[in-house]
Amino acid sequence: MNALIEKAARDIVDAGRVVALTGAGISVESGIPPFRGKGGLWEKFDPMEVGHISALLRDPVKVWNALFLELGRKLKSAEPNAAHICLAGLERRGKLGTVITQNIDGLHQKAGSTDVIEFHGTFAWQRCMVCDIRVPSETLDLSRIPPRCDCGGVYRPDCVLFGERIPPGDLQRAEAVAARCDLLLVTGTSAVVQPAAMIPFVARDNGARVIEINTEQTPLTGRVSDYLIRGQAGKVLSAIVDALDRISEKAGYKR
Ligand code: NAD
Ligand code: ZN
């Protein structure tokens, strides 16, 4: 593991353009459970089913009670962890460009990252399903479920549910950024949800190095990624940033 940490730090120092792709695993140390893998979210039901647009259209009360209220509570109290802070720190050092995230928790921005593509939208805003008006989540009146807009329409989080399309602009920008990068840092994603799972392929097919940070192997491991650093995102990224600072100091680079 130590050799891989050093290698990753060196690869980041040597790369021109570094991009990060993050998933639910990066927020686990902030107390937000992922959907898959150990400790997966809400063992009582299948988020793929309850989080599907057809479920929301069929039974908004059920989806609000089972999923959105619970998710909202978890997200409200969540703070960025060492992994989000390290990525923001890499940006400050001029070593990381865009963060493409599948997460809807806003923790990259809260940690200080300024160039974030929220591929699956955000839970910070709600959208009326009839008139499309957007309001900040914290202003919602949750005394009645589902919460409703003045027009009578049901509010829903402004994120991409299963069965919905990624906003085309975000998809295009993410693909363009991935196609141009020299190194893609894939952190805390099982890389099975399409089309986000394509991003590592786009990077690799354009000659980028792909490094994975994950507690488990993924479908990318040994096939698309050059190497996997196995461990918790916060610990691994902290160690990489420490190693990168040592390398930079030795080389006389400015932080
Ligand atoms: P996922 O739930 O499919 O997989 C999470 C991955 O993170 C797994 O590969 C797991 O091994 C890994 N992991 C778990 N703990 C880790 C840790 N401490 N450090 C590093 N890796 C760790 O997540 P996904 O691939 O992002 O897809 C699920 C979808 O559900 C996402 O697209 C996202 O929109 C949504 N989601 C978002 C949040 C959030 O905003 N925080 C939380 C749950 C689900
Ligand atoms: Zn409305």
Length of the chain counted residue by residue: 255
Average pLDDT over residues 68-82: 92
Q: What is the pLDDT of residue 105?
A: 97
CA–CA separation, 62 and 33 (whole Å)? 20
Q: How far is CA 138 from CA 33, 72, 76, 121, 196, in A?
A: 21, 9, 9, 16, 28
> How would you classify residue 237: left for phi > 0, otherwise alpha for psi between -120 and 50, otherwise beta?
alpha
Residue bearing the bigger pLDDT, 169 or 43? 169
Mutate to test the pocket of ligand 1, among 104, 123, 158 (most ligand atoms within 8 A of CB): 104
6: β partners: none
Check whether 1 has a pLDDT greater than 60: yes
pLDDT of residue 198: 92
**pLDDT at 70 (0 to 100):** 86
| Ligand 2 centroid to residue 104 C-alpha, Å | 22
Contacts of 99 (CB under 8 A, 6+ apart): 19, 20, 22, 87, 91, 108, 113, 115, 116, 117
Answer yes or no: is the C-beta of 81 below 6 A from any ligand 1 atom: no
- 27 CA to centre of ligand 2 in angstroms: 32
The b-or-e profile of 125-164 (16+ CB within 10 A means b, else e) is: bbbbbeeeeeeebeebeeeeebbbbeeebbbbbbbbbbee
pLDDT the model gives residue 166 = 87
- pLDDT tens-digit series, residues 201-224: 999 999 999 999 999 999 999 999
113-134 residue pLDDT tens: 999 999 999 999 999 999 999 9
32 CB less than 6 Å from ligand 1? yes
pLDDT at 37 over 90: no
pLDDT band at 103 (very low <50, low <70, confident <90, very high): very high
Q: What is the pLDDT of residue 42?
A: 60
Q: How many CB atoms lie within 10 A of CB 205?
A: 12
Per-residue pLDDT tens for 86-101?
999 999 999 999 999 9
Q: For residue 119, which ligand has an atom nearest its CA?
A: 1
Supply the pLDDT for residue 89. Answer: 98
- Specify whether 108 is catalytic: no
In this prediction, residue 132 carries a pLDDT of 96
pLDDT of 253 reads 54
Beta-carbon-side half-sphere exposure of residue 39 (alpha carbons within 13 Å) = 11
Q: Which residues pair with 222 in a beta bridge?
A: none
Q: What is the pLDDT of residue 45?
A: 72
